[in-house]
Amino acid sequence: MKRKELFKQLIIEFHQYGIPDFIERELKLPVNTGKIISVIGVRRSGKTYLIFQTIKKLLENVPIERIIYINFEDERINITSEELSLILEAYKELYPNIPLKDLYLFFDEIQNITGWEKFIRRVYDRYTKNIYITGSNSKLLSKEIATALRGRTLSYEVFPLSFKEYLAFKDLSFEEKDFYNIEKRGLWKKEFLGYLEYGGFPEVVYLNDKNLKLKTLQNYFEVMIYKDLVERFEIKNPLILKYFIKRIIENLGKPLSVNNIFNELKSQGYKISKDALYQYLEYIEDIYLSIIIKKYSKSILKSELSQKKAYIVDNGLVNALSFSFKGVYGTLLENLVVKEFRLRGYEIFYFKENKECDLIILNKYQTMPIQVSYSLSDKKTMERELNGLLEAVKFLNVKKGVILTFDDFDTTTIDGVEVQILPAYYYFTVLA
C-alpha cells in the first residue's frame, strides 16, 4: 500500500472506531492553549490513555472528523520524516472542506520517526496550533522535547496511578464518613495495603495473581534498563547499572552516598568512575524511574550541593526488584508518599538540622513539613517523629505539620503548633 493510502486508512479507521473505553485520570490536558502539548513520563504509566481522555473531552464540542490520531508504533508505518507531510495530504483528500487550522493532531510515540521535530514545528507555524505528542523515554526526554520545539510546547508529566485513581480503577470510592464505618474502613485499608505493595501501574492493577504482578513489573524494569538506559545512553556495562539501581532501592529514604557505591564496586574489581555513577543517577531520574530530592535550605547553593535522597517512582518496582522490603512497610510508605506528592506537582525536600523531618512539600499555596511513620505505637518513635516535625515547623515559620501513618489518627497542639496524625490512605483519598 502506498504511504498516502495507508494514512487515509489510519485516519478513517480512527474516525470509524473512535477511542477505546478507559477510566479517567485526575490529570487533565488543556485544549486550545496555542502551544504544542507534550506528554511525558515513566514507561507504561498511561500516556496513550491520557491522550484518549483528551480526545473524548474534545468530542463534546468537536466532530471526530476534525481529529487525527496516529500511533507511530503501528507496524504498518515505515516512513521517513519527509513523508510525514503525507498525513496532511491524505486528510485533505478525505476532507477537502475542513481547513487545516481547525484540525486537532494527536501523534503517539512520534519520536520513532527520525527528524519528526521539523515536521511538527512546520505544522505548528503554518497550519494548526492544536498538536499533542507523546514520547518514549528510550528516544525522547522531556528536556529534549523543550529543545526540539523551541518554546512552542507545554509538557505534562504522567506517573503511575495515584491511590485515588487506583481505587477508581477498581471501581471503588471512599468518603470521609467511611472512615467511621468498620466494614468500609477495613476494605479501604486492604486496598491501600495492595497499593503499598504492588503500586499503581495501570496494567498491574488489573492482574489478580501476585506472581504475575511481580513478573510484569520485573519485565518493565528490564525494558527500562535496556531500552531507556543502556541503548539510549550507550552504557557499556549494564551489570554495574543494575547494581547501582538496586543499591539505590536498598537505600530508600536515606542520604545516598555515590562514593560508598563507588568503593563497593571498586572492591569487587569493577572499573567505573564516580562521574559515571553520578551520570547514572541523572539518567534514571531523566527516564522517571527515580525521584531525587535535595535537602531543604534557604540557600539554593547549599541545597544543590547537599547529599540527595533517591526514591523509586512506583512501589511495585521496589518490591519486584528487592526482597529486602518484604513486610518493611515503613520504607514503602515513605516511598509511596513521595510519589503521591510528586505527581501532584509539589516540590519535595527533606529537612535536617539538629533533628530530621522526612519531607518538606511546597507549592504556590503552602509549605508543609511531613513525617512518615508506619506506626506511632512505640513511644520512642512518636517522640522522634514529633521532635523532627516541630523543629522543621519552627525553622519554616509555619503553624502546622502532618505525620502520615498506616492507621493512626489524632490531632494535637504542641507549643502553638497544630500536629495532624493521619492515615495515608485517608489523607490521599479525602484531603490531598
Distance CA 159, CA 376 (A): 30
Per-residue confidence (pLDDT) for residue 326, from 0 to 100: 61
Q: pLDDT digit of tens for each residue in the chain (432 aa)?
A: 688 999 999 999 999 999 999 999 999 999 999 999 999 999 999 999 999 999 999 999 999 999 999 999 888 998 888 999 999 999 999 999 999 999 999 999 888 888 899 999 999 999 999 999 998 776 667 777 877 888 899 999 999 999 999 999 999 999 999 999 999 999 999 999 999 999 999 999 999 999 999 999 999 999 999 999 999 899 999 999 999 999 999 899 899 999 999 999 999 998 999 999 999 999 999 999 999 999 999 888 888 888 999 999 999 999 998 766 666 799 999 999 999 999 999 999 999 999 999 999 999 889 999 999 999 999 999 999 999 999 999 999 999 999 999 999 999 999 999 999 999 999 999 998
Per-residue confidence (pLDDT) for residue 137, from 0 to 100: 73
Residues 295 and 351 sit within 8 Å (Cβ to Cβ): yes
> Do the strands 356-362 and 131-134 form a parallel or antiparallel pair, or are they unpaired?
unpaired
Per-residue confidence (pLDDT) for residue 324, from 0 to 100: 66
Question: How large is the angle between the packed helices 258-267 and 274-286, nearest 10 degrees?
Answer: 120
Q: What are the cell numbers at 334? A: 515513605
Per-residue confidence (pLDDT) for residue 289, from 0 to 100: 95
Superfamily, domain 3-158? P-loop containing nucleotide triphosphate hydrolases (3.40.50.300)
Per-residue confidence (pLDDT) for residue 336, from 0 to 100: 98
Other Cβ atoms within 10 Å of 381 Cβ, number: 14
417-424: list long-range contacts, CB under 8 Å, 24+ apart.
417/390, 417/393, 419/386, 419/389, 419/390, 421/376, 423/179, 423/189, 424/163, 424/192, 424/333, 424/336, 424/337, 424/340, 424/372
CA dihedral 405, 196, 43, 430 (to 10 degrees): -50
3 state DSSP class of 1: coil
The pTM of this model reads: 0.94
Distance CA 142, CA 153 (A): 10
Per-residue confidence (pLDDT) for residue 424, from 0 to 100: 98
CATH 3.40.50.300 range(s) for the chain read 3-158
3 state DSSP class of 355: coil
Per-residue confidence (pLDDT) for residue 347, from 0 to 100: 96
Annotate 148-160 with b (16+ C-beta within 10 A) or e (fewer).
Answer: bbeebbebbbbbb
